[in-house]
Each structure stands twice: as structure tokens, then as C-alpha cells.
Amino acid sequence: MYKMLLCQRYLRTRYIALASIISVMLGVATMIVVNSVMSGFGTQMRERIHGLLADVVIESHSYDGVSDPDLQIRIAREVADGYIEAVTPTVEVYGMLNFNFAGQWITKPVTLIGIEPEGKAKVGPLRSFLDSFNPVYENGEIARPALRPDEEVPNWKLSPEAEEYRHEKIDRQKWYESQLAALESEKTPKQTASIEPQQEVQTAALPVDPFADPFFDGQAAEQAPADPYEMMDGRVYVGAGLVSYPYRDPETGLMKTMMMARPGDDVKISTVTAGRPPSHAAFQATIVDVFKSGMTEYDSNLVFCNLEELQNVRGMLSPATGKRAITSLHIKLKDYKDAEVVVERLKSAFPPDQFVVKTWEQKQGPLLAAVEVESAILNVLLFLIIAVAGFGILAIFYMIVVEKTRDIGILKALGAGSGGIMSIFLSYGLALGVVGSGVGVLLGLTFVHYINQIEDAITYITGRKVFDETIYYFPEIPTAVQPSMVLSVALGAMLIAVLASVFPARRAARMHPVESLRRE
């Protein structure tokens, strides 16, 4: 009974114990908040990488690809049909994206991926990445609703808003050309001869067509459709990072996005043909949609194109068989837990000298491993905060033992055993750990639950957006609380508190009652 009474008395009356409790509390709360945010970002990153890469990917070693995609799909289904939910063929090759913005040429290297939108949507969440299928958020509020209905399947058609924009742009082009033609027809040779040199230079600089097709040349004219309102044969989804950039509005101070090209605009894409040696191939394409995966590596690099047009441009049609070639197959499984079994079966069916078979995690192994290592290192560093609190508990207990030497001697003289004395300090340490961990868990979970409201308050106080959705592509800070993580952090903090009290407890237990009473 005396052990519990003394432990409670020390816990209630020793203000120095409050410092230990606060140290443990802050350490536990910090670890829970950081781990939850890291887990949220990690989960979102994995989902977005997985969204662009199917569960299993079969890739050809050559960019020329392999012919007869129907045969390749049939082989895959024969060896793993019970595990496969959907399969879609793709063509992947490097290229250059060219478009005109504000009177200057923008040229960017890209990875060009030929897809069938319906098939791609079956093996991954393509719809959730396309801008027209999602609302646009500004300052946490919906600034523009989704442009397409939820039941619509991804396709190569423009949304009504993009089609209206394209028509308005072409109408402006026609109006400008008519005005320019009228201006030229009003000129007479006499008027032209009477113009002073300086005026002639200014007049010559006037007819710069701001609405002109930047790719209007002989080759482009042959590719352009007869109806100017009609879309090009090439249709693309472009990454948001390729055709936009964030800027700060000077009036409001808020971050906004400037679009350099948008759905309805035409761009020019350059790539290489299949075969040896490869030659230059270029074609015009109409931007159908903009995709935002939230991964800068993808949004600033990938361009999805209609598969058939890309195959035509690259000459991936066999004259002998009439079969088109592909470079990879993307496979969605019914249950991803069977991925290893499926990969082994596919490896036995697809020759390793022609194909590489990997899961999406194996393809992105270095990136995922880097994130896991970073998270592990961060956990070790944060756990040192709790370890520092543990050393504080050790120092405090050691001072208590020195200060209470005579009291310990009296207890032993009254019959208290060494085990009883030791259990006083061990119970005291456990109590500090339990209280500190409990309050820390409540504080950490509360912080995580209201983290976006806290972010709004900090933004209001500082006047600067802490978490800008135009940069991170998240409408709010993502979090994911794992019960196992919370439990392990709390138990770890309690264990450190108990271990920190072991040394002072043993020293107190070994004291001799007579020598302790003699101590002045």
C-alpha cells in the first residue's frame, strides 16, 4: 500500500515531474502527427503512381514493339486468366511537344504514350486524373465544377466548354484574316509609294496574327482537316506541368495557375519512326484534356495520345500481316495479392529476351524504397525526442534518490524491502510514461483531425498560404492514422520511461538503512 501512496504523492506534488510528462507528451504527439502526414502523402503517392501504372506491366525491350497485340493479350489470358480483370495495349516512346504561347515557341521533351482511353480506364483510375472529370478548387472552395458527367467514359472527344473555346478561337482567327484582307485591299500603289520609311516600317510590323496557327506551313496544311472546326487526327491528354505554371496574383496575393495551352488548342508532336534506322516523324494533335496525377515527375513529362494515330505516325503497321505493333501490355488483377504468382506465370510465357514482366511496385522500386528509407530515418530522429525525455526522467529520478536518501533509510528500517523500494520508482516512471503517452496520443490525434483548420489559421495569421493546392495538387493536407503506429509510439514512450527509472530504482534499492540514516 505504501508504494502506491508514495508514487501518487510524488506524481501530484513534484512539479519537476510535469516537465517529464510534457517532454513525453510532445514527443508522442509529434511522432503521431508526422507519421500520419507522411503516411497520408505516401498513400496518395502510391495511389497516383499505381493509377498510371497497372498492377502488372509487360514491356518490350525494343521501342519498335511487337506485332499482333491480340495474340499477346490472348497469351496473357491463357496463362493467368483466372487472375486477370482487364488488359490494355500501349505504345511508349520519347518525343517533343511544341506549342506557341504569348508569341514564343515552347518546346519540351516528353514521354509519349499511346492508349485506348476505355481500356486505360479499366486498368487504372484514369478518370480521376483528368481535369474535365474533376472540380477545380481555389482556397478550399470549388471554383469550377466538373465539365463531364460521372457516367461518361473517358474518350477522345472535347468537352462542350473546350469545343466552344476552340470555335471561338477559330472565329477570332477568321475575323482577323478578314480585317487584314480588307486593309490590304484598301491600299493603292500611290498610297503605298507616299508612305514615309518610318511609317512603312510600322505598317509592315502591324499584320502579326495573334490567332494564327503556329504550325501553318506546307506540311501542316496537308494534315489539317477540311473543316477548320474539326479536330486533328491526333488527340492527346497532356500533363498539367507541361502546359501550365503557378504564379502569384499581385492583387490578392494568392497562388493561381496560368494555362499556356488548354483543351481545344492544337499542338505539334515530334517523335521517331519504328524500324532501323529511325527517322523523324511529326504530327499535329488537339489537346482533349489535361491530367493531374499529383506527381511532378509524371505531370511534367507524360503525354497520352490516341493509340492508332501514334501507330500510324510511327509506321507500326506490318504490310505483310496488317497487324499493328505495341510496346507494352498493362494488366489489372482481380486481387493484387496474386501479383507474384501472375508475374511468374507471365515470365514463363513471354520470352525474357523480348519482354520484361514486372509489377508496378517493382517498376517504381527505387522511388518507393527512397520514401520508405526517408520515413524510417525521420522516425528514428523523432524517436530521439522521446529518448531525450527519457534521459530527463533518469536525471530527475537520480536527484530524487539523492535527495530522499534518509527517507529511503527510514522506509527500510520500518521493514520495506529492496523490491518494494525499487517498485516505487519503477511505478513512478511507468506513471509518467502512461500519463505523458496518453495526453500525447490525444493531442496528436486532435492535431491530425484538425490539421487543415490549423493550416487555415496559420495562413490567416501569417498572410501566406502554408499548403497551396496549386503546388501540391491536394485540396487539403492528406493524413492517414494507423492504429498500429499509434500503439507502438505510445508503448515505446512508456518503455523508455520505465527503462530510464531502472538505474535510479536499483541505486535506491541497494541502499543500506543504517548508512542512509547517517547521511546528512
List, for residues 361-412, the tens digit of each pLDDT value.
888 777 777 778 887 888 788 778 778 877 877 877 777 766 666 666 666 6
- pLDDT band of residue 203 (cuts 50, 70, 90) is very low
Residue type (1 letter), 97 = L
* Nearest C-alpha neighbor of 67 from the set 274, 308, 272, 316: 316
Write the secondary structure of 123-183 as one string of H (helix), E (strand) and C (coil): HCCHHHHEHHHCCEEECCEEEECCCCCCCCCCCCCCCHHHHHHHHHHHHHHHHHHHHHHHH
Q: How many CA atoms lie within 13 A of 328 on its CB side?
A: 24
Region 447-476: what's the mean pLDDT? 77
Query: pTM above the 0.75 mark?
Result: no
* Nearest C-alpha neighbor of 161 from the set 305, 264, 238, 267: 264
C-beta atoms surrounding 350 within 10 Å: 21
Residues 303, 115: Cα–Cα separation, whole Å = 10
User: Would you say 382 and 31 are in contact if contact means Cβ atoms under 8 Å apart?
Assistant: yes
Instruction: Locate the DSSP E strands across 41-139.
Output: 56-60, 66-67, 84-101, 104-115, 136-138
Region 83-93: what's the mean pLDDT? 93
In the chain, % of residues over pLDDT 70: 80
- pLDDT band of residue 144 (cuts 50, 70, 90) is confident
What residues are paired with 256 via a beta bridge? 247
pLDDT at 38: 85
The answer, yes or no, to whether residue 520 has pLDDT greater than 80, is no
pLDDT at 512: 57
Domain limits, the chain: 2-48+367-518, 54-138+216-363
DSSP state of 295: -
Pick 458 or 313 by higher pLDDT: 313
Region 199-206: what's the mean pLDDT? 41
Omega before 351 within 30 of 0, i.e. cis:
no
- State the cell numbers at 437: 503517452
Residues with Cβ < 8 Å from 494, sequence gap 6 or more?
A: 430, 433, 434, 437
| pLDDT (tens digit per residue) in 15-70 | 666 777 888 888 899 889 988 988 888 888 788 778 778 899 999 988 888 888 89
pLDDT at 239: 92
Pick 322 or 328 by higher pLDDT: 328
- pLDDT band of residue 1 (cuts 50, 70, 90) is low
pLDDT at 111: 94
| pLDDT (tens digit per residue) in 415-440 | 566 666 677 777 777 888 888 899 99
Residues 411, 2: Cα–Cα separation, whole Å = 9
